Amino acid sequence: MIEDRIFVGGQWRQGRGAQTASLFPADQSINVQLHVADLSDVDDAVQAGERAWRNPAWRESLPHQRATVLYRVAALIEARREDLARLQTRDNGKPLAETRALVDSAAGTARYFAAVCETLEGELPTPRSRDFTAFSTYEPIGVIAAITPWNSPIASEMQKIAPALAAGNAVVVKPADATPMAALALARLYEEAGLPAGLLSVLPGRGSVVGEAMVRHPLVRKISFTGGTNTGRHLAHIAADKLIPTSLELGGKSPTIVLDDADLEHAVRGVAYGIFSSAGQACVAGSRLLVHRSLYDAFMNRLQDVVRGLRIGHPEQDGVHMGPLISRAHRESVANYVASALEEGGRIRCGGAVPADPALELGNYYLPTVIEGLSPQARACREEIFGPVLVAMPFDDEASLIAEANDSVYGLAAGIWTGDYRRALNLAARLEAGTIWINTYKKFSISTPFGGFKESGLGREKGRQGVLAYMQQKSIYLGMETAPMRWSR
Ligand code: NAD
């Protein structure tokens, strides 16, 4: 699968840090024993990145030459689709159907940013005056520290690597502690596709050691982070001290709203998918359900039936809806949230336990759980659980609905289910979230910008603008006067 090697400045070598085991969340078997990076690996990777992006052979290469590498990577990913999907399933326990979709997304991202790279243009921001004319170009920033979480490794890593390279930077990636394998596999493909040595490094290791050293390194000129809000806030402080840009894709507690005119079956299926796919381990998971009171009982009865019918099982088996959670510690954290909800007056509609099936005993499984009867102030309604737990509440009118939906420090996403798009768009305009799905949920396109309001993040990824997040603008003035300047005369 993956050897005990990390990718430092174009070289495959054993990491100089401690040896750690990456475990398969379905049975705790060992995927790989990996020596992770240490501080000297970080320095070597960043120094190599600095040399590589400044190298005129790359810096002055034409956009289509840079794009060619990304197109080749996309083709290589497609050729190894099944292997890469299986690798990720071993890494984070997601069912194969989901990891195949992540692989497809990574290939699409590489291809999209290749096309953006080829078609990127500068600007003529000022009209020509008698004295001067001016234009602006976009230039790379330098070495980018890219730090990713464990829930969608290959997709989130590609979402940073592809635009950063297309923009002409070098990238040092630190994958999540639990999921080092996809990023290392990606590095092999970039190497095979002909990416010059040093432009990409992959440094598995602890966030507080390797990640921290990366972002603090004086030659790192931008932080691109996806992960939890507290980590993001910490990195934003470091970025502020260094005065470097940072983009942060953080957590969420997204409301999913069912209006009284919604198609009930459509909404029930969409709500179940929005929270329970990926076993709820999705930043955009629709984890707060708000249903109009006139529909509430019928909706909850049907939702309960659908959730009880979900298949929890080994992620390598076909037809499984939910695999295990990433780790035992994470399952415990999810169970603690459920316990706190019970203490705060919640009633469990379904789930709320580890599955009884002895075949699942070794994995970190947790049943899809629906809780009702909570006040919006309860911990389970306010904090990101990042697991298969849905809290449900009825609402009476749109004014109270908006107040409740927006009553969160987060603002990543929201869902609306209704038969009336005019109503939906009016509601969407008042919801504080970076992405709003109407009569659908968790659909993504690489050409559509993505990011959070409030504590869900800073900046946007994806879309044509996504590449500009890895560039800085330089404006150039050309004097048009034929006589010497009048001022000192
Ligand atoms: P996390 O914040 O614990 O870790 C994310 C990454 O940061 C990991 O690689 C970790 O090792 C690293 N890290 C931790 N401390 C660090 C430090 N001091 N310096 C540098 N790096 C450090 O998050 P997680 O548990 O891996 O992921 C779950 C979180 O990610 C959830 O909150 C989820 O909502 C969020 N997420 C957000 C998006 C998005 O696009 N908005 C997507 C996926 C996940």
Quick: pLDDT tens for 205-217.
999 999 999 999 9
Shared domain check, 347 and 314: yes
Shared domain check, 264 and 167: no
Query: What is the model's pLDDT at position 1?
Result: 62
**Residue 65 Cα to ligand 1 middle (Å):** 33
Asked if pLDDT for residue 198 goes beyond 70, the answer is yes
Shared domain check, 231 and 123: yes
**Residue 226 Cα to ligand 1 middle (Å):** 5
User: Per residue in 408-438, pLDDT tens?
Assistant: 999 999 999 999 999 999 999 999 999 999 9
Query: By alpha-carbon position, which residue is closest to atom 20 of ligand 1?
Result: 211
User: Per residue in 375-388, pLDDT tens?
Assistant: 999 999 999 999 99
Q: Which of 345, 333, 350 is nearest to 385 (CA)?
A: 333
The alpha carbon dihedral of 440, 445, 447, 448 has a sign of positive
Please report, for the chain, how many H helices and E strands are present, in that order: 16, 21
CA 479 to chain centroid, in Å, comes to: 45
Average pLDDT over every residue of 204-231: 98
Ligand 1 atom nearest the C-alpha of 283 is 34
User: To 10 degrees, what angle do helices 63-79 and 181-192 make?
Assistant: 120
Query: What is the model's pLDDT at position 100?
Result: 98
Whether 444 maps to a domain, the answer reads no
Shared domain check, 403 and 341: yes
> In 3-state terms, what secondary structure has residue 13?
strand
Distance CA 179, CA 151 (A): 8
Q: Give all strands (DSSP E) within 261-360, no chain letters.
A: 288-292, 347-350
Shared domain check, 271 and 245: no
Whether 192 maps to a domain, the answer reads yes
Asked if pLDDT for residue 2 goes beyond 90, the answer is no
Q: Give all strands (DSSP E) within 261-412, no chain letters.
A: 288-292, 347-350, 369-372, 389-395, 410-411
- Our answer on whether the CB atom of 150 is closer than 6 Å to any ligand 1 atom is yes
Shared domain check, 302 and 354: yes
Could you give the C-alpha distances from 172 to 87, 112, 472, in angstroms and in order?
A: 21, 21, 19
Shared domain check, 324 and 205: no
Q: Which of 70, 81, 95, 140 is nearest to 322 (CA)?
A: 95
**Residue 292 Cα to ligand 1 middle (Å):** 34
> In 3-state terms, what secondary structure has residue 247?
strand
Ligand 1 atom nearest the C-alpha of 238 is 19
**Confidence tier at 90 by pLDDT (50, 70, 90):** very high
Query: What is the model's pLDDT at position 35?
Result: 98
Q: Which residue matches tokens 């990891």?
A: 99
Q: Which two tokens stand for residue 9?
A: 């400045």
Instruction: Determine contact, residues 411/229, Cβ cutoff 8 Å.
Output: no
CA 235 to chain centroid, in Å, comes to: 16
The residue type found at 160 is K
Shared domain check, 269 and 224: no
User: Per residue in 164-197, pLDDT tens?
Assistant: 999 999 999 999 999 999 999 999 999 999 999 9
**DSSP category for residue 464:** T
Query: What is the model's pLDDT at position 197?
Result: 98
Q: Which residue matches tokens 């008698």?
A: 130
Average pLDDT over every residue of 46-61: 96
Asked if pLDDT for residue 104 goes beyond 70, the answer is yes
Instruction: Determine contact, residues 229/253, Cβ cutoff 8 Å.
Output: no
CA 283 to chain centroid, in Å, comes to: 7
Ligand 1 atom nearest the C-alpha of 452 is 41
Whether 57 maps to a domain, the answer reads yes
**Residue 231 Cα to ligand 1 middle (Å):** 6
Whether 483 maps to a domain, the answer reads no
Query: What is the model's pLDDT at position 123?
Result: 85
We report the CATH number of the domain holding residue 49 as 3.40.605.10
We report the CATH number of the domain holding residue 313 as 3.40.309.10
Q: Decide the pairing of beta strands 200-202 and 170-174.
A: parallel
**Does the annotation count 249 as an active-site position?**
yes
Shared domain check, 261 and 345: yes
Shared domain check, 168 and 81: yes
Whether 182 maps to a domain, the answer reads yes
- Our answer on whether the CB atom of 208 is closer than 6 Å to any ligand 1 atom is yes
Average pLDDT over every residue of 75-98: 98
Q: Give residues with Cβ within 8 angstroms of 448, minimum separation 6.
A: 462, 463
Average pLDDT over every residue of 471-484: 93
**Confidence tier at 332 by pLDDT (50, 70, 90):** very high
Ligand 1 atom nearest the C-alpha of 229 is 32
Whether 1 maps to a domain, the answer reads no
- Our answer on whether the CB atom of 384 is closer than 6 Å to any ligand 1 atom is yes
Asked if pLDDT for residue 153 goes beyond 90, the answer is yes
- Our answer on whether the CB atom of 168 is closer than 6 Å to any ligand 1 atom is no
Asked if pLDDT for residue 369 goes beyond 80, the answer is yes
Asked if pLDDT for residue 50 goes beyond 70, the answer is yes
Q: Which of 50, 249, 432, 461 is catalytic?
A: 249
Query: By alpha-carbon position, which residue is closest to atom 35 of ligand 1?
Result: 227
Distance CA 428, CA 308 (A): 31
Distance CA 46, CA 400 (A): 51
Query: What is the model's pLDDT at position 467?
Result: 97
**Confidence tier at 21 by pLDDT (50, 70, 90):** very high
Average pLDDT over every residue of 72-80: 98
- Mean pLDDT value across the chain: 97
Shared domain check, 201 and 318: no
Whether 449 maps to a domain, the answer reads no
Instruction: Determine contact, residues 213/18, Cβ cutoff 8 Å.
Output: no
Q: Give all strands (DSSP E) within 175-235, no chain letters.
A: 200-202, 220-226
Instruction: Determine contact, residues 142/168, Cβ cutoff 8 Å.
Output: no
Shared domain check, 238 and 259: no
Domain count, the chain: 2
Query: What is the model's pLDDT at position 300?
Result: 98
User: Per residue in 263-317, pLDDT tens?
Assistant: 999 999 999 999 999 999 999 999 999 999 999 999 999 999 999 999 999 999 9
**Residue 228 Cα to ligand 1 middle (Å):** 4
Asked if pLDDT for residue 126 goes beyond 80, the answer is no
User: What stretches of 55-95 show up as alpha helix (H) in DSSP?
Assistant: 56-59, 63-79, 81-92
Could you give the C-alpha distances from 314 to 46, 90, 466, in angstroms and in order?
A: 39, 11, 36
Whether 485 maps to a domain, the answer reads no
Domain with 308 in it: 255-438
**Confidence tier at 129 by pLDDT (50, 70, 90):** confident
**Is residue 278 left, alpha or beta, with left meaning phi > 0 and alpha meaning psi from -120 to 50?**
left
Asked if pLDDT for residue 125 goes beyond 80, the answer is no
